Structure 1
């Protein structure tokens, strides 16, 4: 009963996958500008972020991500599996390929432009870490959400 209720809630908030991804085994598999998905916690099971850089000596990833508590932040996180690299984003019924996405420097620039931006407000269903990263990579804005102008 609990699992089906949780599954329905996850499905309701569209936290399910609408992108193609692959699991990565080390920081060497990541490049700047990559869209990655990290493990979160029970109420937020998947955390989407943009890779800024990696440190193979400390096994850490510098990311930019959109959080409920602090808005858009740039921070170092430990590389803890599972980590998934998103390969393409679902746009309607078609998948864009990486050649259709912004280049890595532009992705990072777009992400950094929203750090300390008080106009961007987190909403679990409408404007979350996944919608933020999708905007950074593709320019797609969530419908009826301000802060991406």
Structure 2
């Protein structure tokens, strides 16, 4: 599947991104890949997705360069799905979704998973876009320049 087929001449980067990774299953596959999952059966057990849906999303993520297939790391005849550099660059997106969910979808004190820095054991800092001077950018001080 060519990336261009997914784009539909859309000039908005958000819309193009959502065309590729915006559905629930694709994002959860990427989440699980960041958590170390590599095999079809592991993704299926984690997600509970129907085989045909999981196969379709995995194929699409491979075809568009988010995941790659490689021989199993344990020497068996299986194939594994691994994040490519393009897929790994989705990490800030996944962190932003996680932090938004922590802020808005859990009651105070409700238990949820944490993303920690393995080097320190401390939860990672909050993400926010910053200006060149280091100040946090708020929506009111940004604008999208539309394509003419």
TM normalised by structure 1 equals: 0.24
Structure showing greater radius of gyration is: 2
Structure with the higher fraction of residues in helix conformation = 2
Structure with the higher fraction of residues in strand conformation = 1
Bigger relative contact order, structure 1 or 2 (CA pairs below 8 A, ≥6 apart) = 1
